[in-house]
Amino acid sequence: MTIQAVLAGQNCIVLAPTAGGKTEAAFFPILDVIYRQKLNPVTVLYISPIRALLNNQEPRLTKLASLIGATVFKWHGDVMQSARKRFLADPRHILMTTPESLEVMLISPKIDTASLFAGLRFVVIDEIHNFAAGDRGAHLMSVLERLAEYTSHDIQRIGLSATVGDPEVIGRWMQGSSQRTAVVVDPPSRTSSRLIRIDAYDDEEELAKLVKPIAQGRKTLFFVEGRRLAEGVKQALSEVAATSYVHHSSVGRELREEAEQAFTYGRDNQCIVCTSTMELGIDVGDLDAVLQLDAPTTVSSFMQRMGRTGRRPGTQAEMNFFCGDEVALLRAIALVNLARRGWIEPVSPNEHAIHVLTHQTLAQALQFYGVRREQVWAVAQRACPFRQISRQEFDHLASHLLNTNILTAADGLLVIGESGEKQFGRRNFLELYSVFETPEEVRVLTADNRVIGTLQTWFVQQMDSEMFVFLLAGRAWLVKHLDLDNGEMVVVPAPKGAPPRWGGGGPLLGREVAEEIRAVLTADETYPFLTRRAQARLTDARAHWKSILHSATLPAQLV
């Protein structure tokens, strides 16, 4: 279905679970077009939300492209400058990158983006549902409209997505200025049985006993809701699987990739304790089961995680929840109930992202060494995230930037002003390359310069530098040397340590999930997916909450 849509020149949203073949379905027809029409590089942009997914997909795309003699290049912050120079001198057919790296390329005075992207024909956006509801997605849609000015082609847009509640909305959001027809490709899924089990535990010792018979002798992913939890759970379950790893965004790239490779090609009896980084399409081969500490906050996350299992013929999807408190138990039950009824969160893209338009105005002023107001407005009108912004609002925004001297007017152009230089000019305007801020971090290195990962600077500053021990990448470390000025610390192995703390938080609980929790508490229904221990906890929760909830008066807007 995807092949026909792409060959017909349609923009399309392709739905399939993680590792469901979306990438191949999109790229086979693209490569066919490249081969038959003898297209010159750069022909395809492949855009991913995270570097780890780019690194994971690079061998696959390289192998696919080699079938027709096409070439692939990966561009992100970890790629050597020398490799980037070689690419610019000799571009490849498929360019793999992130929205932030694409912004870097547009802004950089050393890159002739007009020539580089003159032949661009396709944009493939992986995990597009991850972009659609956030600022990074708004940024990406604006950047694509800026790129469209460099080519005479109506760039074909292909979004690869997990199952979502309203894929047509994402399709309209992705469409932008494209005049191509748009379709949603939602192939019928292979029906397989599902095993869902929700259990409860009191302490780490009991958790280990519950996990052991499920994980031993099998390949499993153990999802947790945060990096600190991932480090702690890895220690608590050290004897559950013969080989276990930790995978989250603060673990060094080399160690993450080692875990992915070892897990993919190794034998059974392996477990990766991970955060949502493993939701985003990173392929680690076939799994026997997914384990979940407590519960995620969305049905979408639950479905994506469970969807990583049951892919082999004759196997079933398997999801095991281990809930440490009443709140997690109720959330898990609510998610399963909603999923069984076929409900999944709709995606609601922001069409009034004026804060992102502010960023894009500054980025274009920097890119062109001054930009006409009409040029910025023309891009804004074409991009869905700015669709609800009026011309009056945009003019008010531009006037504000001029009045505060973030921009200044010169020969009819908007130019970065003195205040803009002071605020954003550090490190060659690095802060303008993305629409989100990342906390300052300290790199954790061994004596032989191997990167273990990163800790946030605020956490390091509050620790006792004389006896600073912590867990990272599933191992304990002792700090031997700390250099905050350069953002580095040197560590040696330690016998034990405690999980670090990281700032940030997950998504809030949606109204539908909250209402389902209330329904669970006020009902008498028993659920086949609860163990006896979990059912007993639910009975206790109902005894406490049922009378309170029945007598409570809901606000009018919730009735």
Which residues, at least 6 apart from 284, have a Cβ–Cβ distance to it below 8 Å? 221, 260, 263, 264, 272, 278
Q: Are residues 305 and 234 in the same domain?
A: yes
Mean pLDDT throughout 460-476? 84
Res 421: pLDDT: 87
Is residue 503 one of the residues assigned to a domain? no
Which residues, at least 6 apart from 551, have a Cβ–Cβ distance to it below 8 Å? none
Is residue 499 one of the residues assigned to a domain? no
Which residues, at least 6 apart from 446, have a Cβ–Cβ distance to it below 8 Å? 452, 490, 491, 492
Angle at 297 between CA 236 and CA 206, to 5 degrees: 25
Mean pLDDT throughout 509-532? 94
Res 343: pLDDT: 93
CATH of the domain at 244: 3.40.50.300
If 0-12 CB within 10 Å is exposed, 13-18 middle and 19+ buried, where does residue 213 land?
Answer: exposed
CA distances from 271 to 158, 177, 220, 239, 496 (A): 33, 45, 5, 11, 21
Res 189: pLDDT: 66
Q: Are residues 343 and 371 in the same domain?
A: no
Mean pLDDT throughout 261-278? 86
Phi-psi group of 310: left, alpha or beta (phi > 0 → left; psi -120 to 50 → alpha; rest → beta): left
Q: Are residues 226 and 335 in the same domain?
A: yes
Mean pLDDT throughout 88-116? 94
22 pLDDT above the threshold of 90: no
Q: Are residues 34 and 81 in the same domain?
A: yes
Res 558: pLDDT: 43
Is residue 502 one of the residues assigned to a domain? no
Mean pLDDT throughout 285-302? 92
Q: Are residues 477 and 522 in the same domain?
A: no
Percent of the chain with pLDDT over 90: 65
Specify the range with the lowest mean pLDDT, choosing from 283-287, 457-461, 486-490, 551-555: 551-555
Q: Single out the residue of 327, 287, 331, 330 nearest to residue 309, CA to CA.
A: 287
Res 299: pLDDT: 94
Which residue did the predictor score with more confidence, 431 or 303? 303
pLDDT digits (tens, 9 = 90+) for 59-69: 999 999 999 99
Which residue did the predictor score with more confidence, 342 or 283? 342
pLDDT digits (tens, 9 = 90+) for 147-158: 999 999 999 999
Per-residue confidence band for 559, with pLDDT thresholds at 50, 70 and 90: very low
Q: Are residues 108 and 176 in the same domain?
A: yes
pLDDT digits (tens, 9 = 90+) for 226-269: 999 999 888 877 766 668 899 998 999 899 998 898 888 877 78
If 0-12 CB within 10 Å is exposed, 13-18 middle and 19+ buried, where does residue 305 land?
Answer: buried
Tally helices (H) and strands (E) across the chain: 21, 20
Q: How does the average pLDDT of the chain come out, rounded?
A: 89
Q: Which domain-ending residue is among 153, 185, 217?
A: 185
Q: 219: domain range?
A: 190-349+425-436+508-559
Q: Are residues 146 and 277 in the same domain?
A: no
Q: Are residues 200 and 293 in the same domain?
A: yes
CB of 414 closer than 8 Å to CB of 376: yes
Is residue 498 one of the residues assigned to a domain? no
Mean pLDDT throughout 389-395? 97
556 pLDDT above the threshold of 50: no
CATH of the domain at 417: 1.10.10
Q: Are residues 327 and 381 in the same domain?
A: no
Res 537: pLDDT: 96
Q: Are residues 197 and 301 in the same domain?
A: yes
- The total domain count for the chain is 4
Is residue 501 one of the residues assigned to a domain? no
Specify the range with the lowest mean pLDDT, choosing from 48-57, 183-192, 293-302: 183-192
163 pLDDT above the threshold of 80: no
Q: Are residues 334 and 398 in the same domain?
A: no
Q: Are residues 416 and 379 in the same domain?
A: yes
Specify the range with the lowest mean pLDDT, choosing from 60-74, 305-319, 533-547: 305-319
If 0-12 CB within 10 Å is exposed, 13-18 middle and 19+ buried, where does residue 418 land?
Answer: exposed
pLDDT digits (tens, 9 = 90+) for 400-436: 999 999 999 999 999 999 998 888 766 556 667 666 6
557 pLDDT above the threshold of 50: no
Is residue 338 one of the residues assigned to a domain? yes
Res 241: pLDDT: 63
Angle at 199 between CA 318 and CA 332, to 5 degrees: 75
Is residue 317 one of the residues assigned to a domain? yes
End-to-end CA distance of the chain: 42
Q: Single out the residue of 503, 513, 514, 509 nearest to residue 226, CA to CA.
A: 503
Mean pLDDT throughout 311-333? 91
